[in-house]
Amino acid sequence: QQQVKQSPQSLIVQKGGISIINCAYENTAFDYFPWYQQFPGKGPALLIAIRPDVSEKKEGRFTISFNKSAKQFSLHIMDSQPGDSATYFCAASMNSGGYQKVTFGTGTKLQVIP
């Protein structure tokens, strides 16, 4: 019930294309859904996040779509660039004893080819 399932495991996209990564969760207590971007040898960095009362959030080329009834959310990267090549983690968090406990998906390794 605490899991966050992420797919695909890896993704190759042509430069200029759209990258789509999907995640699903079971626990309806989750109330915050961040996406993290991780480059090799670095720590994850917060990319964009959404709360379940919103169906879509857009920041530049990055958009989160959220379907509360289906308990699914996805990251869309428009006009994908080689510099976007990284591993992307979806996550879900909920208040647990006064703090936000974060559960991560297993990650998607994105490669954008020129």
Partner 1 sequence: NAGVMQNPRHLVRRRGQEARLRCSPMKGHSHVYWYRQLPEEGLKFMVYLQKENIIDESGMPKERFSAEFPKEGPSILRIQQVVRGDSAAYFCASSPISAGTQYFGPGTRLTVL
Token pair 């626990």: residue: 27
Q: How far is the CB of 16 from partner 1 (least distance, A)?
A: 28
Q: Would you say 70 or 99 has its CB closer to partner 1?
A: 99
Q: Shortest approach of partner 1 to residue 31 CB, angstroms?
A: 10
Identify which of residues 26 and 79 has a Cβ nearer to partner 1 in the complex.
26
Return contacts of 68-72, CB within 8 angstroms, 24+ apart: 70/24, 71/24, 71/25, 71/26, 71/28, 72/22, 72/23, 72/24, 72/25
Nearest CB to partner 1, comparing residues 13 and 23: 23
Count of CB atoms situated within 10 Å of the CB of 64: 23
Q: Which is nearer to partner 1, 17 or 109 (CB)?
A: 109
Q: How far is the CB of 46 from partner 1 (least distance, A)?
A: 6
For residues 58 and 75, give the distance between their C-alpha atoms in angstroms, rounded to a whole number.
Answer: 10
Give the whole-angstrom CA distance, residue 95 versus residue 32.
Answer: 9
Binding site for partner 1 (CB under 8 A): 6, 34, 36, 41-46, 49, 89, 95-107
Minimum distance of partner 1 from residue 1's CB (angstroms)? 14
